[in-house]
Amino acid sequence: MNTVNTTTFQSKLPHVGTSIFTEMSQLAAQHGAINLSQGFPEFDVPEFLKGAISEAIAAGKNQYCPSSGLPALLEQIGALVDRCYRQNAAAPLDAMNCVTVTSGATEALWVAFQTVVRPGDEVIVFDPAYDSYEPAVELAGGRCCHIAMTAPDYAIDWEQVEQAINANTRAIVINSPHNPTGTLLKASDLEALQRLVTVYGLYVISDEVYEHMTFDGERHESVLSYPELFARSMVISSFGKTFHCTGWKLGYCVAPAVLTAEFRKIHQYVTFCTFTPAQYAVTEMLQSHPGHIDELAAFYQQKRDVLVKALQATRFNVLPCKGTYFVLLDYAAVSDKKDTEFCHWLTTEVGVAAIPLSPFYQAEVLKAYHRDHKVVRLCFAKNNGTLLKAAGLLCQL
């Protein structure tokens, strides 16, 4: 038999292995540890949504739907965007031509990179960065230019960004509210980005999947509120995060009509359309339960507060968390171990799984900027009992 030779087969992603999220979740399961590593809710989707998806399936809504998404869902997404970010806009968002429903934000990100990145292009990403950006850029023939967020506040130094822009620079990726640091971009950040994008003719891929989870009265600054910036952007979100249904893989991309047309050309060949019953269910949820989204920030803020308060009794330094469902802990007072070793030890010996921060950095960036970076990420999208139990174990250290 003529089998594939694994020593001569050339991988298109030679540096990519099992993700740290899979690794830590597997380790947590093996050792019966409380899993605060991977970012998924411990609680169920809203009852209404569960009923709505069952009804859609029972009613026979089980065939392909339009490739860009159910028109009724596009309309609902348009209305949501207008309500949250475009109160002062002269006209409603043209949802039929500017919104595409995707199989999770992951597909939207992949298609967005395929839409703008050409062979030889450079894409600026900020470390620590979510892990799906770089492989998507590389598969499109581009390369990432990694810039470290500043320490200790995880902000972006826009002067440094401007210095990094060259003739090959094609796009900038932003992510706010930010995974893994829980920080938010401010209006001044978006204004600085808007200037660079306009002056240098760049595109923006804005990952806003945690858009409805911001705390202490802070507002999410969306690219969708900045018309000039939006004109060169693709904004990506995820109903998986908003409705606690990460396994449904339902996301969307909002972009100007010209970019959307290109985005849709690629989307149709990646998946053609996204799971129809979930689109019906989410359409109804958005129509009949707008309060879920309005209450999401308070729901997660309460969870953050439960965990952070319980961690006050530990030797960990809890870093400020303004959004997402992640909080960072500085463990310098607890251990000298490297973050990957520390997380392994924490999972196997203490019984709490966390995610180390170093895998979110390009190796060179990590060496240059964050040599003594002893920080791990905890996910607080868990029941309060789970959070308190984990904090109790961490208090013993």
Ligand X SMILES: Cc1ncc(COP(=O)(O)O)c(C=O)c1O
Which residues bind to ligand X, rule: CB under 6 A? Answer: 39, 104-106, 130, 175, 179, 207, 209, 238, 240, 246, 249, 251
Quote the CA–CA distance of 359 and 340 in Å, as a whole number: 8
Least distance from ligand X to the Cβ atom of residue 249, Å: 6
Least distance from ligand X to the Cβ atom of residue 39, Å: 5
Least distance from ligand X to the Cβ atom of residue 344, Å: 22
For helices 291-311 and 384-395, give the axis angle rounded to 10 degrees. 20
352-353 and 251-254 strand pairing: unpaired
Q: Which is nearer to ligand X, 170 or 377 (CB)?
A: 377
Quote the CA–CA distance of 323 and 326 in Å, as a whole number: 8
Which residues, other chains included, contact 243 with Cβ-Cβ below 8 Å and sequence gap of 6+? 45, 46, 49, 282, 285, 292
Q: Residue 289: exposed, middle, or buried by beta-carbon count in 10 A (0-12, 13-18, 19+)?
A: middle
Least distance from ligand X to the Cβ atom of residue 239, Å: 7
Q: Which is nearer to ligand X, 212 or 310 (CB)?
A: 212
Least distance from ligand X to the Cβ atom of residue 391, Å: 23
- Please name the helix (run of DSSP H) or strand (run of DSSP E) that holds residue 41, with its range, or none: none
The residue among 337, 370, 368 whose CA lies nearest residue 354 is: 337
Q: Which is nearer to ligand X, 240 or 310 (CB)?
A: 240
Least distance from ligand X to the Cβ atom of residue 14, Å: 23
Q: Which is nearer to ligand X, 78 or 240 (CB)?
A: 240
Looking at beta carbons, which residue is closest to ligand X?
104
In three-state form (DSSP H/G/I as H, E/B as E, the rest C), the secondary structure along 301-370 is HHHHHHHHHHHCCCCCEECCCCECCEEEEECCCCCCCCHHHHHHHHHHHHCEECEECHHHCCHHHHHHHC
Q: Which is nearer to ligand X, 293 or 334 (CB)?
A: 293
Q: Which is nearer to ligand X, 251 or 310 (CB)?
A: 251
